[in-house]
Amino acid sequence: MSSHAAAVEHNENLHTEGYPTYHTGNAEDAYIEGYDPVSLSAPHSSLLKTSTWLGMGLVMASLAGFGTLLFGLAQFFWGTGTADHSPVTLMVIGGVIGVVLLVVGLVLAAVVGRKDYKAYTKRTGRYN
């Protein structure tokens, strides 16, 4: 048995296979030396976190704000036609919405969503 083997409890009364219970608290203690866990099912995967997906959704939603900013810029330079609104208002509203959604989305995806991965790399020294 390698030095990375964890104490695993097996229940002989089960008729179907289940997931083992790790007494050490970390699944990576049972990893084989040299194993590089890059799958979706890795316990430290950022793809399993809701905050990652919400953050990336907010980044995509920020495109609507930047599109409104661009529309306001086009009206500012080439005229508003028959519209009676100020293009500066569209630029400000679009810019604020775009920047706020982009910043909040990046913080959710890059900081909150990657928190477990950063803890994993600090705990194990593995980078994958």
Q: How distant, in Å, are the alpha carbons of 1, 43, 85, 105, 127 from that of 26?
A: 18, 9, 59, 29, 17
In this prediction, residues 62-79 reach a mean pLDDT of 92
Of 25-29, 31-35, 61-65, 84-88, the poorest mean pLDDT is in 25-29
12 token code pair: 């002989």
Of 19-33, 54-68, 105-119, the poorest mean pLDDT is in 19-33
By CB neighbour count within 10 A (0-12 exposed, 13-18 middle, 19+ buried), where does 90 fall? Answer: buried
Ranges 11-20, 37-46, 102-111, most confident: 102-111
pLDDT band, residue 78 (cuts 50/70/90): confident
Q: Identify the residue with better confidence: 86 or 29.
A: 86
Q: How do residues 39-51 score in pLDDT, each as one tens digit? A: 676 777 888 889 9
Rounded mean pLDDT of the chain? 79
**CB-CB contact of 62 with 97 (8 Å):** yes
Is the predicted pLDDT of residue 128 greater than 60, yes or no? yes
Is the predicted pLDDT of residue 125 greater than 80, yes or no? no
Domain ranges, ordered by start, for the chain:
1-35, 40-124
In this prediction, residues 21-45 reach a mean pLDDT of 67
